[in-house]
Every structure is written in structure tokens, then in C-alpha cells.
Amino acid sequence: MKVLSLTEPYATLIKKGVKTIETRSWKTNYRGKLYIHASATKMPKEYKNNKELMALVNKDDLNYGDIICSCELVDCIEMTYEFIDNVKNNRKNEYITGIYSHGRYAWILKNIEVLDKPIKAKGHLGIWNYR
């Protein structure tokens, strides 16, 4: 199974369905089922100090070092100014949860399913394989 590791609170925001677009500096040709892994890395201070971002998640719900949900990666779109403006103007919470700038990539996530029991795992960079 393919896995993507994210620093908190982003993994939990996907798990809760608040974040359905993962923004990245790189594109992927992969499409299909994907586990979301909450990195063991502690949350950076800049995230903790972002009141808008932190208002979207309960600190008690955060996970560290666990695969917490699955989803389907259905598309990878290079961001245009029009795409960015659309998200910014029509999906404020989504916009808050990503880095939207021209030339970056929007990974479109659908069918998010919370795992009954989180799976302990060591994360990796990029998309990686679990078992």
C-alpha cells in the first residue's frame, strides 16, 4: 500500500475531511489508494501559532507516528492563478491548510476513510510503500 507522510496538523485535517487537497512542490503520476501517515516530527511553532489553522483541529485529535486514514489520490493538478483564486475565494478552510502558489501541485484526495486502529509506522519522504 502506498503511503504519504505529513506533519501534523495536516494529516489529522485530512482524516477529518477538512483538507482534501494536499499541496506539494512536486507532481506525481500515482493515482489510487493512499494511506495518510502522521509524521512523528513535532509540529513546527509556525503551525502552532497560526490561529486560523489551529482553529480547524482539536489538539487532542493529533497523531504522531501513525498511519491514521486512507484516501484515494484521484488527480494531481499544476496550480494556475485561476485555480488558486478559486480555492482562496470559495474554499477558505482548504486554502488555510495548504501552500497555494503558481507552479506548485494540488493533489486531489477523495473517499477518505478513518482507520479503526492507527498503525504505528516510521515515515519516509515522498510516497512510500507500507508492506
pLDDT tens across 48-95, in order? Answer: 999 999 999 998 899 999 999 999 999 999 999 999 999 999 999 999
**Is 99 part of any domain?**
yes
Contact 97, 42 (CB under 8 A): no
Can you give the pLDDT at residue 131?
78
Q: Could you give the number of structural domains in the chain?
A: 1
Is residue 128 in some structural domain? no
Q: What is the pLDDT of residues 18-54, one digit of tens each?
A: 999 999 999 999 999 999 999 999 899 999 999 999 9
Q: What is residue 49's predicted lDDT score, i.e. its pLDDT? A: 93
Centroid of chain to Cα 116: 19
Which secondary structure element, helix H or strand E, spans residue 93, and what is its range? helix 92-96
Predicted pLDDT at 35: 98
Q: Is the pLDDT of residue 108 over 90?
A: yes
User: What is the domain-level CATH number for residue 50?
Assistant: 2.30.130.30
What is the per-residue pLDDT for 102? 96
Query: Whole-angstrom Cα distance, residue 119 to residue 37?
Result: 9
Which residues does 35 contact at the CB level (< 8 Å), separation at least 6? 1, 2, 3, 4, 67, 69, 70, 119, 130
Across 38-42, 111-115, 124-128, which has the greatest mean pLDDT?
111-115
Over range 6-21, report the average pLDDT.
Answer: 97
Owning domain of residue 51: 2-121
Query: Is position 64 within any domain?
Result: yes
81 within domain boundaries: yes
